[in-house]
A and B are shown apart, each in its own frame.
Chain A
Amino acid sequence: MATRGFSGRGPGAGAAQPGRLPPGQFRTADFPVLSAGPTPHIAREDWRFTLQVGPRPAKSWSWGDFIRLPITKVTPDIHCVTKWSKFDTTWEGVYIQDLLADAGLEPPTAFTLAHSFDGYSTNVPVKDLLGGRAMIAIAYDGQPITPEHGGPARLLVPHLYFWKSAKWVTGLQFTDRDEAGFWELRGYHMYGDPWQEQRYSGD
């Protein structure tokens, strides 16, 4: 249904680069902040990252150990379920496959839950974390990630809506089943592919 009088393509529309903006999204140069609660300020000395298989910790890294792992730089477009997209965002971090290699761990299940300092969680299938598709990011735009944007470290899964890229991430847990995380329990899609416009459960 066409909306009477609407032609669109105002500021933020994606006409200049067709095929780069998923349906229903608009391009922004800003970096909006969306968080369900207050921003935690986590000192690097207090930060740890833990790989878990079910309830069992498999390997844990301090900040100092973590930043000695192989660091990769990526420049993806990111897409937030609240409709904004941002192109060419530059991140540095440790690919999930490099974390697993350091832990000597083959993925024991097909599903994960990422856990955050503030109690947030989100589910991501293992296949979406491997092959250079996801990292634990520790820098944005050449600088440490600010607390508002999830620092000291956030998950980065840029091919899914950005709520999957959990801020203040402190662990990744392999689960036997695909278990819903924070927003997935509150009406948002279990997978969240922006190109399929999987915003809400049932989409």
Chain B
Amino acid sequence: MAPPQMRAAKLLWQSASVVAIEPRTPTVKSFFFRLAYPFSFVPGQHMDVRLSAPDGYEAQRSYSIASAPESTDAIELAIERLQDGEVSPFFFDTVAVGDEIELRGPIGGHFMWSADDGGPLLLVGGGSGVVPLACMLRHRAARASTVPIALVYSARTAADLLFDAELRNESARGDGFHFIPTLTRETSPPAGVRAGRIDASLLGATLALLPAPPKIVFICGANRFVETAADLLLGLGISPPTIRTERYGG
């Protein structure tokens, strides 16, 4: 995929209203923003959020967009509460429907995919790293695309699986999307859900579900998870330029 045209225009900050807040898991809430100046974006891109204190102090963070580009009514950001964070606890504890938050975007020109780019794709998500991957899948569904995609999604427990019902429903349609959750700290996983960390046999079996080797592999999660997944896939013969990574946190 060729890089997009360089943007000459400044990415402007805009004030967006919080129109809904939805708890997704014990540690993740989705915030839905209505933009005064909507923009188009490609699944996988992120937004910058800016909080300003009355004395002028500012804090900024980046969050991946969860909603499909086709859902034009609001932008969804799924925010994980980080224990020692400054911004995510503010969202969890203080932000309410009706608040105005400054945003700008879309940002990022590498970790992104549109149905027009084709496939097959292998998606590997760890924890809240599934968010940009879910955006790609929502876009695929909205476009009624049948590009073959397999998603391996590692979460701690069944309660931590983001968008679980939605991903399950999508995979039940049998139109070429395979959903493979794996739970690392669940003592009694639900029927049909694998327990344990990702390994070569899981990734190898997932690759075998695709009709051809993946055109692009997207891996997103904490750095340790991304390193592990990327190394395993290189070991399975995936070529380095095929693999695109996005790493959260340290």
Beyond A10-B86, A35-B247, whether A187 also contacts B107 by CB under 8 A is yes
Mask, A180-192, CB within 8 Å of B = 1, is 1011111100000
Beyond A40-B240, A201-B7, whether A34 also contacts B109 by CB under 8 A is no
A201 with B8: CB separation less than 8 A: yes
Beyond A32-B247, A39-B227, whether A24 also contacts B57 by CB under 8 A is no
B102 with A3: CB separation less than 8 A: yes
Most B CB within 10 A of own CB, among A8, A25, A119, A200: A8
Mask, A13-47, CB within 8 Å of B = 1, is 10100000001111010111111111110000000
Quick one: which of A157-174 are within 8 Å of B by CB?
A: none
Q: Is B11 part of the contact surface with A, judged by Cβ < 8 Å? A: yes
B250 with A200: CB separation less than 8 A: no
Name the distance in Å between B179's Cβ and chain A's nearest Cβ: 24
Query: Which chain B residues border A131 with CB–CB below 8 Å?
Result: none
Total residue contacts A-B, CB cutoff 8 A: 136
Q: Is A55 part of the contact surface with B, judged by Cβ < 8 Å? A: no
Most A CB within 10 A of own CB, among B8, B95, B223: B223
Count of interface residues, chain B, beta-carbon cutoff 8 Å = 51
A residues near B (Cβ < 8 Å) are 1-13, 15, 23-26, 28, 30-40, 82-83, 118-119, 148, 180, 182-187, 199-203
Query: Which chain A residues border B62 with CB–CB below 8 Å?
Result: 82-83
Name B54's contact: one of A2, A35, A200 (CB within 8 Å): A2
A185 to B1, CA, bound (A): 13
A37 with B241: CB separation less than 8 A: yes
Q: Is B84 part of the contact surface with A, judged by Cβ < 8 Å? A: yes
A4 to B99, CA, bound (A): 7
Name the distance in Å between B160's Cβ and chain A's nearest Cβ: 22
